[in-house]
Amino acid sequence: MDSTDMELECDGSCEASKIVRDEDTDGKRKTIDVDLDSYGREDVPNPPKIRKNVKQSMVWDHFERLKGDPNDPRAKCKYCGVVYACHSKRNGTGTMKHHLENCKKYPYQKKRDQTQMTLAFKPKDKVGDNSSQLVCESFSLDGCRDALVEMIIVDELPFKFVEGKGFKKFVDKLTCGNHTRFVVPSRFTVARDVLKLYVNEKNRLRDMFVKNKYRVSLTTDCWTSGQNINYMVLTAHFIDSDWKLHKRILSFSPIENHKGDTIGKTIEKNLKDWGIERVMTLTVDNASSNDTAVAYLLKRFNKGLLFGGEFLHVRCCAHILNLIVTDAFKEHNDCIDRIRYAVRFIRSSPARFLKFKKCIELEKIACKSYVCLDVPTRWNSTYMMLEAAVKFEKAFDRLEDEDASYRHDMSPNKEDWTNARMLIRFLKVFYDVTLKISGSLYTTSNLVFHQITVVQNCIRLNAGSANALLVGMANNMKAKFEKYWGNNEKNNLLLYVAIVLDPRKKLRFVSFCLKIFFGPEVAESMGNVVEQCCRRLFHEYSTTRSGSRQGCSSTSTTSTQTVSGLDANIDFDSNENVGEDFVYDTIVEEFEDDSTTPFEQGSSEIDIYLLEANVRTEGDFDILQWWKMNSDRFEVLGHMARDILAILVSTVASESAFSTGGRVVDSSRCSLAPKTVEALICTQNWLNSDPIHLQFQHELEEASKFEEGFRVVMENEKELEDLPDFDKLSITDY
């Protein structure tokens, strides 16, 4: 196009505005107006820039584009199938890159995330554990998050703890040397992780119950929180294949009311949820509603019970003992009231307490503990108050001279302190017994009959004491003792069988103690009942156990015994420190001196066990370790012992969960949902417990098949050796 084909139109300001361009199209002239800029240049849109050598992101090696809406493109991970939006303008590839860093199925994940291993000592799992282990560890974000959740659960920390500035700063300092920093999750994320860990641990524990088919013993109790929510806790107790006693909280769930049917239905629901089909006993306190709950379970859950639930109900011995001792304080006791007043006086203000401390220093009393005020409705707190107060008798006497406001008419006198010391020696027997039968980490079913014997002997001796105070308390205790433990028909026979399964005592010790307290006639009949119960159980376990070769013998050789009454003169009026151990040792010493050891051999496994000499030990005796070493010799009795020795004779194991519940559901965390409360309490118990030694049924079957095959091979080899000229046979001849 030449200059004649273009005309320039200008306005009066001589600024270029537009060009009139003539173009020849098909021989016709056409005029086109083209806008110009201020410099007379043609103002045309910039053509799209074409990028050369553009590299595609590496994520497309691991993602596949999906067909669909072009305005909303999607891409799928080749390894796990997760789909992401991949619009070039709106999304980009950053999300897909982040996914590859966390994709569990990404084949190069381990190689890329692997950091340098460091040597470190494994922390001790238990207090007092002196063993240490050197392990290789590496930094892991997932491991840090799991450890954080476990810390929240085990240490009973609130969820908002993770949002504290000090904690976040501490975590930043810990991870500053790593290639990746640990980002502390929010409290809502921690709460979700707690529930996730609870579900995982529950599934793992449920699988263990289903595969191992343990016969568990249960304890249960009810509690009302400060928010007036009724909770019921259900705890399972069992002994694993390594002869370790375990305690697992199955549920800590809200319950509508404390009625027996409601409790029974809740227990039934929990057992079905956990897949537990075999139950040995259920230990409950002495409330009438629990009798209704036991009756409901006998009707609805009888298939999984031994002998149709004949031995299901076990009454909490600690609760009964508390009722017995509480009756001893029904009568008005002036010496306890005066000592309680003295303790309340010095604890009422800081000034009085400081003045009392000066009296202690002046009397040169070397005692680090101080006096504590009791709860009048709890006898054990009264015992602890008296035990602490008598140590400061001289300091209380000096306080009368130092403080005029200390009322002389209500302060304890010399006779009160003398009576207090007698009460301490008397109550110490019951205090020691309560501690022993309330354990949950050691066997108690084989101890309870010992402790009942000790309690009855203590009451009998003090009923004939010269001290009127002790006589009155002993008589009050005796009536309550006869109500609960005097009638043998109300006692669960499995508690007597547990004594028989104690190799130190066996059946002869049961007969010995029964003769002391009930006379020869009652002892003989009751001893026969206990022996028949042992043989019924032995026959039941023999028939139900596969591969058992032992049968139950209908007759047994009875050993000759020389048993005399217990004439131990225990003086509670003396200054000696008389406790449960002294009373029990006196009974055991009399038993060992007056009993003979048989040497005859019975015709069955139970006869051999009963007629063998009793085990004599010095110091602590681990009954579970003894059965572990002898379960191969007494195979059927070993299975009986594993179920019976796991019975808990008190509900303290379940009640201890309420202490945790009171700390978890405090005034500042009252809004926690009941499901979250259950997750926190149950998971804490599971994490703090020892690992369970598993022995699955299919492993036993494989071992049995191997032994059977090995036996057949050995028999065939023996037959070949018996052939004539066996040494001359060649392989081809064979």
Assign residue 230 the CATH number of its domain: 3.30.420.10
How far is Cα 122 from Cα 131, in angstroms, rounded to an integer? 10
**Dihedral sign for Cα atoms in the order 717, 722, 728, 732:** negative
Give the model's pLDDT for residue 161. 92
Give the model's pLDDT for residue 193. 94
**Residue 590 placed within a domain:** no
How far is Cα 321 from Cα 495, in angstroms, rounded to an integer? 16
**Residue 536 placed within a domain:** no
What's the whole-number mean pLDDT along residues 283-305?
88
Decide: helix, strand or coil at residue 228. coil
Residue 40 has pLDDT above 60, yes or no: no
pTM value > 0.75: no
684 and 709 share one domain? no
How does residue 592 score in pLDDT terms, banded at 50, 70 and 90?
Answer: low
Give the model's pLDDT for residue 513. 79
Q: Packing angle between helix 334-346 and helix 414-437, nearest 10 degrees?
A: 90
147 and 76 share one domain? no
Q: Residue 471 has which token pair? A: 């006589």
301 and 233 share one domain? yes
222 and 307 share one domain? yes
What's the whole-number mean pLDDT along residues 373-387?
86
98-129 in b/e form (b: 16+ CB < 10 A) is ebbeebeebeeeeeebeeeeeeeeeeeeeeee
How far is Cα 720 from Cα 653, in angstroms, rounded to an integer? 61
**Residue 165 placed within a domain:** yes
Overall size of the chain counted in residues = 734
Residue 53 has pLDDT above 70, yes or no: no
146 and 227 share one domain? no
**Dihedral sign for Cα atoms in the order 585, 586, 588, 592:** positive
279 and 228 share one domain? yes
Does residue 382 come out as left (phi exceeding 0), alpha (psi in the -120 to 50 range) or beta?
Answer: alpha
680 and 704 share one domain? no
Q: Which of 76-80, 291-295, 549-553 has the lowest mean pLDDT?
A: 549-553
Q: Which of 13-22, 187-196, 624-633, 653-662 has the lowest mean pLDDT?
A: 13-22
How does residue 699 score in pLDDT terms, banded at 50, 70 and 90?
Answer: very low
**Residue 192 placed within a domain:** no
**Residue 518 placed within a domain:** no
What's the whole-number mean pLDDT along residues 607-612?
89
291 and 220 share one domain? yes
The single-letter code of the amino acid at 493 is L
310 and 238 share one domain? yes
How far is Cα 155 from Cα 392, in angstroms, rounded to an integer? 37
**Residue 505 placed within a domain:** no
161 and 181 share one domain? yes
Number of domains in the chain: 5
How does residue 524 score in pLDDT terms, banded at 50, 70 and 90?
Answer: confident
179 and 137 share one domain? yes
Domain that holds residue 704: 697-728
684 and 703 share one domain? no
Instruction: Tell which wins on pLDDT, 2 or 88.
Output: 88
- 325-332 contacts at long range (C-beta below 8 A, 24 or more positions apart): 325/379, 325/427, 325/430, 325/477, 326/377, 326/379, 327/476, 327/477, 327/479, 327/480, 328/379, 328/473, 328/474, 328/476, 328/477, 329/379, 329/382, 329/473, 330/476, 331/472, 331/473, 331/476
φ, ψ of residue 137 to 5 degrees: the values are -135, 155
Residue 138 has pLDDT above 60, yes or no: yes
φ, ψ of residue 313 to 5 degrees: the values are -80, 120
**Residue 277 placed within a domain:** yes
The per-residue pLDDT of the chain, averaged, comes to 77
**Residue 378 placed within a domain:** no
